[in-house]
Structure 1
Amino acid sequence: MDGDLPGPQSGPMETFETLVRAEFAPKNTFLNTASSGLLPARTVAALHEAVAVRAEGRPLGPLWEDVEAARASFARLAGVPVARVAAGPSVAAQTGLVAASLPPGAEVLTAEDDFTSVVNPFHVRGDLKVRAVPLERLAESVRPGTALVAVSAAQSADGRIADLPALREAATAHGARTYVDFSQAAGWLPMEAEGFDFTVCTTYKWLLGPHGAAVLVVPEDHGDLTPILATWVSAEKPWDSCYGPVQELAHSARRFDGPPALFSYAGLRHSLALIEELGVAAVHAHDLALADRFRAGLATLGREALPAPGSAIVSVPGLGHRQPELGRAGIEVSNRAGNLRASFHLYNTTADVDRLLDVLSG
């Protein structure tokens, strides 16, 4: 990591930088967390240990403990009781679970061009009324008869942040449930899952975990969900439920668990622990300082990012075609719908921002 982290270099910030530098040593200018985050050193070590456990034939008990540790850590970050947290493989699978709970003809309100995993499971049902509106009109578009509003907290394509307080108020007024995907927000944007019926999050982006894990927060009353993926791990007593139908499903959200990818959770618990140690508020301030530096630098180049105030994701119209060139220069960014998308996270520095601006200016 070249360059300084933004902000004062003493007190809590010094601890932030020390922790980050101990965990990350990227070999390039990595500005693509919105696609996939870097793995901390502690997570890499845990993955190696998990593989060794399997290779050497040691008991798998510790790997199952990792699932519960990750579940508890995510619950703390989300601000909900751990009993509301279900572990699964992907956002699409969790969305499918929610979609399956809706009665035929139910109206689902979504944002236009939201990420496919958030919306497609509702479309493929075939018997739901799915209505899409511009993100900025989402709250005002909730109406009597809307059964569910589904939206990403931060948009993948351009980083725009949904007005979640307004959405919550509108949904409450009309008796609609809410389903919020925090995949592009959890880890840098404070997450208050308590205010929504369902929240979901994949963990390989801003939460810095391995691929293969996603977490669903359900209501205390389980929100009419049917545990259609339930198997022995979803039982109140899993090891007594390995054969035949499960006689007693878990009383908690664990009844909605799918068989977990143990390696993924072995690493994830350590990634989540790092986010907790750093604090989401500190990560938020760090990430936004870098994003704002990039926006300001774009202005000096005669460019303007798509409007996404307060976001760590910055998309620049008309520059997506330069992604291959930037890749050759050792700068990892994304091309999304013709836009150049840069995403700034805790391991990035001011030097990373300036390096990107320098290459763009050339």
Structure 2
Amino acid sequence: MESPLGGDEFAPVSTYLNTAACGLLPRRAVDAVRRLAEDTAAGNERAGGSLAATAAVRESFARIAGVAADRVALAGSVASLTGLVAASLPSGADVLIPERDFASVVTPLASRPDLKPRYAPLDGLAEAVRPGTALVALSAVQSADGRVADLAAVREAATACGARILLDATQAAGWLPLDAGAYDYTVTSAYKFLLSPRGVSFLTVGEDAQEGLRPLAPGLFAAETRDDMYGALPLASSARRYDEPPSFLAYHAAERSLALVEEIGLPALHAHATGLAARFRTGLVELGHTPVPGDSAIVVVPGLGGAREALAAAGVVVSAPAGGLRAAFHLHNAAADVDRALEALSGVR
């Protein structure tokens, strides 16, 4: 735990505990963006971007998520992917969502006036599934407080009632092992624990679930082949039919970032991040604070958001969603980062 797993890939100028808001770009990702930008500025044959890079990103995420690459679609944002699923639901569909889940999960579903969203506490979500529920939509890890959902219970309840599941893995993928094939749909933005720029997001869709999921704005990248770029093109038979045009600079970076995640491996990343988080929780309790309990890489102390300024003055970067103090631990962090944050909090009451 004493040495960051990222080695010399990272060089933050602060004690950075804010991956739940934005992940650090590794050097290799920055280099990839720089090379593509320079190639495009020079107008050489590598200008614009590489389809090989986007293919590598798809394959890398598929391995991280535990699914075949043909089950993965590439997009720019989670909200657009959640909107795709929302558009597939029949009018009047009963949709179950945890209370105060992240807006990218909730808003696309709630904005359809003919759906019937219901909200339940996260720890009572499985019990709230009922016959006739069409979709359960939730985050694997809550952005506001770092809680990890009881996904096994939700899957069991949804299966019993014939409901589909939409899982947002944005705050989980990169430190929490993920079996995306256990869900009808997963959506993931890569700019947090997958250490990529904004503009890289993923949809996984099961073969059965794909039957009822209609592409909303298919274009060239959703076609079965790109041999002819004119006229109406047949859509890909795989999940690639939901692909959006890639932002090549972001995807060139993501190719390198996801490769780093794979090199280290999710078991090591999970043990490292949750070990540091446990150390932080223990220290917080010793200081008289009460963090949200659990075994998450994200640690939140409700009501302590005002301490963010004291931490910033000490060179520690955290965030304060919903008034809580939130610290998130990842591969670039070490035990010394935990201790520095606790020292900065030692005088805060």
Indicate yes or no: 2:14 matched with 1:54.
Answer: no
Residue 332 of structure 2 corresponds to 347
Q: In the TM superposition, what is the alpha-carbon distance from 1:348 to its structure 2 partner?
A: 0.4
Residue 190 of structure 2 corresponds to 203
Q: Which shows bigger deviation, 177-186 or 222-231?
A: 222-231
For structure 1, the 5+ residue unaligned runs are: 6-16
Matches within 5 A, 1:176-255: 176-221=163-208, 222-240=210-228, 242-246=229-233, 248-255=234-241
Q: Normalising by the residue count of structure 2, what TM-score does the alignment of the two structures yield?
A: 0.96
Partners of 2:191 and 2:329 lie apart in 1 by 15
CA deviations over 1:90-127 (Å, ceiling 9, x no partner): 00000000000001001111000000001110111110
- SS of the equivalent of 1:38 reads coil
Partners of 1:103 and 1:243 lie apart in 2 by 33
- SS of the equivalent of 2:158 reads helix
Residue 136 of structure 2 corresponds to 149
Q: In the TM superposition, what is the alpha-carbon distance from 1:223 to its structure 2 partner?
A: 4.1
| Matched positions, count | 345
Matches within 5 A, 1:209-358: 209-221=196-208, 222-240=210-228, 242-246=229-233, 248-307=234-293, 309-358=294-343
Q: Report % sequence identity.
A: 54
> Is contact 1:30–1:348 with CA below 8 Å preserved after alignment?
yes
> Is contact 2:36–2:48 with CA below 8 Å preserved after alignment?
no
Partners of 1:173 and 1:192 lie apart in 2 by 20
Residue 21 of structure 1 corresponds to 7
Residue 9 of structure 1 corresponds to none
| RMSD between aligned residues | 1.3
Partners of 1:292 and 1:28 lie apart in 2 by 21
> Is contact 1:207–1:275 with CA below 8 Å preserved after alignment?
yes
> Which letter maps to 2:27?
A
> Is contact 1:291–1:314 with CA below 8 Å preserved after alignment?
yes
Q: 1:124 aligns with which of 111, 118, 123?
A: 111
Partners of 2:50 and 2:191 lie apart in 1 by 18
CA deviations over 1:60-112 (Å, ceiling 9, x no partner): 48622111100000000111010010000000000000000001001111000
Partners of 1:119 and 1:129 lie apart in 2 by 12
> Which letter maps to 2:230?
Y
Q: 1:65 aligns with which of 41, 52, 67?
A: 52
Residue 63 of structure 2 corresponds to 76
> Is contact 1:33–1:343 with CA below 8 Å preserved after alignment?
yes
Partners of 1:62 and 1:229 lie apart in 2 by 22
For structure 2, the 5+ residue unaligned runs are: none
> Is contact 1:234–1:255 with CA below 8 Å preserved after alignment?
yes
